[in-house]
Amino acid sequence: MNNSGNPQQKAPRIIPRAEHNVSRDEISKNALKVLYRLHSAGYQAFLVGGGVRDAILDLHPKDFDIATDATPDEVRALFHNCRLIGRRFRLAHVRFGREVIEVATFRAASDRDHDDHVRDEAGRIVRDNVYGTIEEDVWRRDFTCNALYYNIADFSIWDYAGGMRDIEQRRIVLIGDPDKRLREDPVRMLRAVRFAAKLGFSIDPALQKAIGQDLLLLVSVPAARLFDEFLKLFQAGFAEKTFDLLREFKLFGELFPATAQELDEDAEFRDFVRAALRNTDRRVAQNLSVTPMFLLGVFLWAPAKRLAAMTREKEQMSEPQALSLAAYELSAQQQRRIALPRRFTIPMREMLALQPRFTQTTGKRAMKLLDHRRFRAAYDFMALLAEVGQFDRETADFWSKVQNQSPDERAESFQVRKSTQGDKRRRRRRRRRPNQATNS
């Protein structure tokens, strides 16, 4: 379905509290404080977006965004704990300790010369500070399921774009003409995939077609913004499903071209990547920490091995050195698509470069690997390779065992002879020759 009509031309379907399941018990107390204060001050105040959508789906929302007819300066005047952010579109952030409630003023369609609204040559919006009414604001949102407004005045839901229907039918539908909306912001392609993966929704056929036509528009998106999207795509607990959808719609190759090529040619690499994605989802589900460094290393593993092998043929260097150099070169290439901060690329290179050292299990050098600052990440990487049959299982078990041993047991495992005071060689003092007498 294509919602090409302008929502501002339609009255909303107002769903009273008795006919929907969104409860204030599911809304953050701090978000409620903001909503109530805006309402008490005479402004319209709505919870909007993912918070409403997830509450309808009984997914226990975690993000609470508010839309209002108050301007950012008017919002700031109501809250001493508020600061204004954003260049493309001014937003108010109301902070309660670690929780931040985002408050946005209703946006309007921009068709006047004096509007603070700028597009680039491809049609992508780069600045957009045009305020309007709620009827206009709906038109500026992306998907119908994200365009439902929970009114704090009477706890009703206002639905201008058929979002409630599309949630019931479990589909991702873009508001307006899909091609035009993707040209305004190509990241909407990635957002469609992310929401489809998270919610288990299908993507509307009209949107699928537009994605196929507009893939190359992702090149115009700033690399720093794509890194933020990478984190949302792969660290939200739905990484494997997201990966499948990105590949299905040819989007993954626009983000990781070198990885996509290897995935097409190497079945073992596909197995490894999929195991890493499942592992990431499992850790997120268990509330364990995840780092983009690890998954970036997984994505670049096969390209790095190939490049390292070519480098070793041309120049004399060790396998760890070649892997580190290959990871550096691939990271530099990847920066053209996704900005990778050094705090992730440097440890990733070290993690990959350590992999050959796990094959050595005797001697002091092997034992010193346990003290390396990247040992734990490198070990987890190696263990994942072993899990999919791409590293020797017995060797992997050895490294698992020695981590829990005492120093004496560890020395025995690595076959390192314990040093004693008597074993140390004493330095031999050189005797100074007596000065020879000179004849006078």
Among the listed residues 65, 185, 204, 214, the single catalytic one is 65
Based on the residue annotation, tell me whether 65 is a catalytic residue of this protein. yes
Instruction: Give the containing element (helix H, strand E) for 14.
Output: strand 13-15
pLDDT over threshold 90, residue 374: yes
Q: How many helices (H) and strands (E) does the chain have?
A: 20, 12
What's phi and psi for 420, nearest 5 deg? -125, 165
> To the nearest whole percent, how much of the chain has pLDDT over 70?
88
pTM: 0.85
Matching CATH number, 222-401, of 1.10.3090.10, 3.40.50.300, 3.30.420.40, 3.40.430.10: 1.10.3090.10
The predicted-structure confidence for 42-87, as pLDDT tens digits, reads as follows 999 999 999 999 999 999 999 999 999 999 999 999 999 999 998 7
Question: Would you say the C-alpha torsion 67, 69, 72, 76 has a positive or negative sign?
Answer: negative
Among the listed residues 63, 177, 244, 380, the single catalytic one is 63
Delimit the domains of the chain by residue range: 1-217, 222-401
pLDDT over threshold 60, residue 438: no
Tell me the average pLDDT of the chain.
90
Are domains 1-217 and 222-401 of this chain identical in fold?
A: no
Is the model more confident about 386 or about 127?
386
Cα–Cα distance measured from residue 91 to residue 127, given in angstroms and rounded to the nearest whole number: 13
pLDDT over threshold 80, residue 311: yes
SS (H, E, C) 164-191: HHHHHCCEECEECCHHHHHHHCCCHHHH
Based on the residue annotation, tell me whether 154 is a catalytic residue of this protein. no
Based on the residue annotation, tell me whether 380 is a catalytic residue of this protein. no
pLDDT over threshold 60, residue 88: yes
Choice among 107-116, 297-306, 321-330 with the minimum mean pLDDT: 107-116
| Angular region, 123: left φ>0, alpha ψ -120 to 50, beta rest | left
The predicted-structure confidence for 250-289, as pLDDT tens digits, reads as follows 999 999 999 999 999 999 999 999 999 999 999 999 999 9
pLDDT over threshold 70, residue 129: no
Among the listed residues 54, 128, 137, 142, the single catalytic one is 142
pLDDT tier, 108 (very low <50, low <70, confident <90, very high otherwise)? confident
Closest C-alpha among 284, 382, 296 to residue 347: 296
For 401, residues 6+ apart whose C-beta sits below 8 A from its C-beta are 413
The predicted-structure confidence for 5-20, as pLDDT tens digits, reads as follows 455 457 899 999 999 9
Cα–Cα distance measured from residue 212 to residue 39, given in angstroms and rounded to the nearest whole number: 43
pLDDT tier, 124 (very low <50, low <70, confident <90, very high otherwise)? low
Given this model, what pLDDT does residue 121 score? 60
β-bridge pairing 45-48 and 65-68: antiparallel
The verdict on domain 1-217 having CATH code 3.30.70.1230 is no
β-bridge pairing 148-151 and 45-48: antiparallel
Cα–Cα distance measured from residue 125 to residue 117, given in angstroms and rounded to the nearest whole number: 8
Amino acid at 413: S
pLDDT tier, 113 (very low <50, low <70, confident <90, very high otherwise)? very low
